[in-house]
A and B are shown apart, each in its own frame.
Chain A
Amino acid sequence: MPDLLLELRSEEIPARMQRKAAGDLRKLVTDALVEAGLTYEGAQEYWTPRRLALDIRGVSARSRDVREEVKGPSTKAPEAAIQGFLRKAGLSSVAEAHVHSDPKKGDFFVAHTVKPGRGAEEIIASAMPGIIRDFPWPKSMRWGGASAKPGSLRWVRPLQSIICTFGPETEEPVVVDFEVSGIRSGNKTVGHRFHAPEEITVKRFEDYAAKLEAAKVVLDAERRKEIIRTDAANLAFANGTELVADEALLEEVSGLVEWPVVLLGAFEEDFLQIPAEVIRLTIRANQKCFVTRPAGASDTLAPRFVLTSNIEAKDGGEEIARGNGKVVRARLSDALYFWKTDQADLPDLAQLEASAEKFKLDLQKPLDQRMARLDHLNVTFHAKLGTQGERVSRIMRLARELAPLVGADPDLTERAAVLAKADLQTEVVGEFPELQGAMGRKYAALQGEQASVAQAVEDHYKPQGPSDRVPSDPVSIAVALADKLDTLVGFWAIDEKPTGSKDPYALRRAALGVLRIAIENNIDLPLNGLIEEHLEKFGLTDIANRNSVASSLSRFLEERLEVVLRDRGVAADRLAAVLDLTGLVQGHPVLRVVRRVQALHELLNAEVGTNLLAGTKRAANILAAEEKKGTAIAEAVDPSLFRDETEGKLFEAMNRSEREAAQAIQAEDFSLAMRALSTLREPVDSFFERVLVNDEDAAVRANRLALLARIRAATGAVADFSKIAG
């Protein structure tokens, strides 16, 4: 069976797009083959900065003939209708049509048509231009003389040449001939831009890959990565250091070279006074180089970096390493300057005094100065939510209010909240926004802030995602909750809620953060109340309006909570049984809701629970049916109307278990409440076994129904059992 080789060579494709583009190419081409009735055995895509390639094996040489029967009109139909049918079916006369019979319709014409299969080459040649024209690049461009006219070809960067060969292993493959916007397919490409710019003629994939390798192009990105990974580690090791692994950088670098050659560069030890993370980011972001650390060290770096060049330089790479070192030094000089500037006084401190007073800042301290400037400059947080200064002031007040709830010192909490956003005004964070928080913590520690204050400056951003660490120090907890709640409440106040796909302010993450912090630190957070109060700080004075916004946000948080609990294996119906009546929206604190859910979950996982559930449901169903019929139900249970001993036993057990459950709920011990309820199981079961609720005596019946109502009410105090399936 023949194989297909395809190469689309273009000017340098952005590294981040290559892998997906090659995958898209494979899917588009194989789908087109299958769509046209061809089969294939396997397909593998490849990419380099300058080419996307595709190797498809075992393609069928032709698609099958397709036989069809086209039903026509009755043989007695008017001539015009018959002529129309013949034309449509492509027959030249009635003689070519068959006559079929049908008991209802009688004799009618049928055309037997055969759509002959097409050769694979023809199929490929007709499919490729469309695939290339409509290729799903995230961003594409026009170029050259052709771009003077509308509708010219768009590609990620100018497309230079196309290889498309097809043929069985045993024969010389042929070029599948097609043209896209003046580029004609062929069997030629070029090698490495500098080492082997000459044209290469290729046959099949093996020949193509081998000739590229000889022309200093490693076609397989995984192999390029492996070369870089191994060589970089060895080079670092040979120089007494260890490579700091960085998979994302490795992926990017492998997309920047066709012939990776790893080299070692150096910078002065003096730069190591810059925090390691800043050095790493500086070298990575600007130079796409790896950093190294002294063998065995964990948080210090070595003054050596590893770069990946695209050539085997004539001088062994000396010039390249020197040049890169120069740029790295210039960048690190900037970083060092930023790091030092951030620890020095700002000019014009006098103009910051008003802001300093507002936040009780000490203008002798650098980070305090930055916070004062953040306020003084009226830096916008969001057009509708005011300035960063206003935001910090809200967070500060909320954090202070939260402090007693989480067992944090109010003064330290306030101090941490005030400094939490100050690093947004530092040079390092201006350069590397991803270091916000981490830098603030360093600067806070350097100016002698209390340890938990410094930690909170970093940790109040946590958790950043489902797997990120949750802050555990009380001061961090208070500021983290205040920060997240302020964001959530603020965006709810201006009605900018996340939609299905869009969540530009990461509000889902903030909500999840609030919940995880409360749950993992055992904090009973009255969210609904906090939200309502905090809304006032956004100028929502109308109480009805505040209620509705608060309940909308509580609902959002509750939905997030459902996600958290479902992830922990709690079924949706069990969640509904608790949340619908006693959820966040009804003003119940997070932790209590979670405990109630857990208690219910545990109860129902035990046999006693499922039996109790069955009994309760039976009671509820009977009640519902009788209520519907309008049957009389006694207001209260009257023991004098008991006719069977199980009635009395149930009544007794009910009184006891109701009392115990109520006490347990009062004490917020939901497990105990569930256990109290579970003692009802045996008397309920016996009751249903021995007693017919629908007694002939109406008074007895009404009394029994009242007993059932008690069962429903007792369990309902813990959860709405009717929501639970099974």
Chain B
Amino acid sequence: MSRPAHLDPTRSFQGLILTLHDFWAAQGCAILQPYDMEVGAGTFHPATTLRALGPKPWRAAYVQPSRRPKDGRYGENPNRLQHYYQYQVILKPNPSNLQELYLGSLAAIGIDPLLHDIRFVEDDWESPTLGAWGLGWECWCDGMEVSQFTYFQQVCGIECAPVSGELTYGLERLAMYVQNVDNVYDLNFNGGEGDEKVSYGDVFLQAEQEYSRHNFEYADTAILFRHFEDAEKECRALLASGTRGEGQRHLVVLPAYDQAIKASHAFNLLDARGVISVTERQSYILRVRNLAKACGEAFLLTDAGGFVAQAA
């Protein structure tokens, strides 16, 4: 596929994203847009978490803005951000040549495996808050972790059948690598030069500074605690109202799952504010996991979860 030079993946951040879109679209993925909520990682998008459950095949790819409040560095660290982009691919069931497809996507963005040292290094992925785990690798390019490659074994505490393959690319890192810059804020975002150039810093530096202040100093912890409680309550309430009993379809899983996501983000902010002790931490994670599990179980009672209503 030919693109204007400024959209070459090695010249612009957006060119990198577009190239990955093209590549995965050609593999039959639905190219989705980011989920419109604050999440810690692309995995939280219902297109991954929930769609990984149940028997129905599924292929999707999307960019997901991800927030890790604790990683804020007031815009002063060249590598660390509290808001960054993940490129997420989910293929269910995983095709047998998923590793080759992944390497193909690296080739598409300009990484030649006979020039660069690509490695699959053991990494057992686990998300305690989602009750999920899988086996796979960190994918290294010249010693740098550029992607996460996971065969989901369990999500929301439920065995995956069939197993999905999940690829997560750290877009900023990858872009820094292919553009050969040492500071994330120096990334060329749009591929323009001179006056035309928009850098990653132009887009996000101010946001990083402001959100760092928010995450570490200004966020009202009393309100956040309340948000957590409310979201938890609402999630449970929604799940209860959507239940139609044994053998019946569940009616409101996705809105309930949104509340689980909200609770998770409130927890992350509280954690960044340093008001959750080590022992409490465990119990908050457990509370979010219980919400995720309940949502996952309810999802199996929906069409997308492969549910077939019993004849009346």
Contacts and interface: CB of A to CB of B under 8 A. Distances in A.
Chain A complexes with chain B: yes
Interface of A: 11-12, 14-16, 49, 139-150, 156-158, 160, 193-195, 256, 287-289, 307, 309-311, 313-315, 319-320, 322-324, 326-328, 330, 377-380, 383
Give the one of B115, B143, B182 with max A CB within 10 A: B143
5 contacts: A140-B135, A141-B163, A143-B163, A144-B96, A307-B143
B141 A380 contact: no
B288 interface: no
A141 B142 contact: no
B277 A378 contact: yes
Q: What 10 pairs between A and B have smallest CB-CB spacing?
A: A323-B142, A14-B122, A324-B143, A148-B162, A12-B120, A309-B117, A147-B163, A141-B135, A194-B113, A147-B162
Contacts of B93: 143-145, 147-148
B182 A326 contact: yes
Nearest to B274: A377
B163 A319 contact: no
Contacts of B99: 11
A380 B276 CA distance: 12
Interface string B41-57: 00000000000000100
B266 interface: no
Contacts of B136: 157
Contacts of A150: 161
Given A145-B162, A147-B160, A323 B121 contact: no
B279 A383 contact: yes
A160 B100 CA distance: 13
B142 A319 contact: yes
Contacts of B278: 379-380
Given A141-B163, A311-B114, 20 more contacts: A12-B137, A140-B135, A141-B135, A144-B95, A144-B96, A144-B163, A145-B93, A148-B93, A148-B162, A156-B135, A194-B114, A287-B143, A310-B118, A314-B114, A319-B142, A320-B142, A327-B144, A379-B278, A380-B278, A383-B279
B161 A148 contact: yes
Interface residues of B, number: 40
Contacts of A194: 113-114, 118
A16 B121 CA distance: 11
A141 B94 contact: no
A319 B122 contact: no
B142 A327 contact: yes
A328 B142 CA distance: 11
A158 B141 contact: no
B210 interface: no
B141 A323 contact: yes
Contacts of A307: 143
A587 B185 CA distance: 68
Contacts of A148: 55, 93, 161-162
Nearest to B143: A324
B116 interface: yes
A249 B161 CA distance: 37
B124 A142 contact: no
A310 B119 contact: yes
Contacts of A315: 115
Contacts of B124: 139
Nearest to A289: B143
Interface in B123-177: 124, 134-137, 141-144, 151, 153, 160-163, 165, 177
Contacts of A287: 143
Contacts of A49: 120
Contacts of B160: 142, 147
B151 A141 contact: yes
B135 A144 contact: no
Interface string B250-273: 000000000000000000000000
Interface string B65-86: 0000000000000110000000
A11 B120 contact: yes
A377 B280 CA distance: 13
B143 A327 contact: yes
Given A319-B142, A324-B143, A256 B121 contact: yes
Given A143-B151, A144-B93, A147-B160, A323 B134 contact: no
Given A14-B122, A147-B161, A380-B278, A141 B153 contact: yes
A195 B55 CA distance: 38
A149 B160 CA distance: 10
A140 B94 CA distance: 16
B146 to A, nearest CB: 10
Contact of A313 (B114, B161, B279): B114
Interface in B159-209: 160-163, 165, 177, 182
B115 A158 contact: no
B177 A323 contact: yes
Interface string B25-49: 0000000000000000000000000
B179 to A, nearest CB: 12
Contacts of A142: 151, 153, 160, 163
A170 to B, nearest CB: 38
A192 B191 CA distance: 36
Contact of B94 (A14, A144, A313, A324): A144
Contacts of B95: 144
A383 B280 CA distance: 11
A143 B115 CA distance: 31
A310 B119 CA distance: 8
A349 B141 CA distance: 43
A501 B311 CA distance: 54
B121 to A, nearest CB: 7
A572 to B, nearest CB: 45
Give the one of A143, A145, A330 with max B CB within 10 A: A143
B187 to A, nearest CB: 15
A32 B228 CA distance: 58
Contacts of A12: 120-122, 137
A324 B144 CA distance: 7
Given A147-B161, A287-B143, A311-B114, A139 B94 contact: no
A287 B157 CA distance: 33
A707 B78 CA distance: 90
A326 B144 contact: yes
Contacts of B144: 323-324, 326-327
A232 B160 CA distance: 44
A320 B165 CA distance: 28
B248 to A, nearest CB: 24
A380 B277 CA distance: 9
A311 B151 contact: no
B140 to A, nearest CB: 9
A328 B140 CA distance: 13
B117 A320 contact: yes
Contact of B135 (A139, A193, A288): A139
A15 B122 contact: yes
A328 B120 contact: no
A157 B124 CA distance: 11
Interface string B105-118: 00000001111111
Nearest to B96: A144
Give the one of A140, A158, A328, A377 with max B CB within 10 A: A158
Contacts of B115: 313-315, 319-320
B175 to A, nearest CB: 14
Contact of A319 (B116, B161, B279): B116
Contacts of A327: 142-144
A430 B236 CA distance: 37
Nearest to A377: B277
A185 B293 CA distance: 40
B113 A311 contact: yes
Contacts of B117: 309-311, 313, 320, 323
A224 B95 CA distance: 32
B153 to A, nearest CB: 6
Contacts of A195: 114
Contacts of A158: 96, 151
A183 to B, nearest CB: 10
A311 B119 CA distance: 10
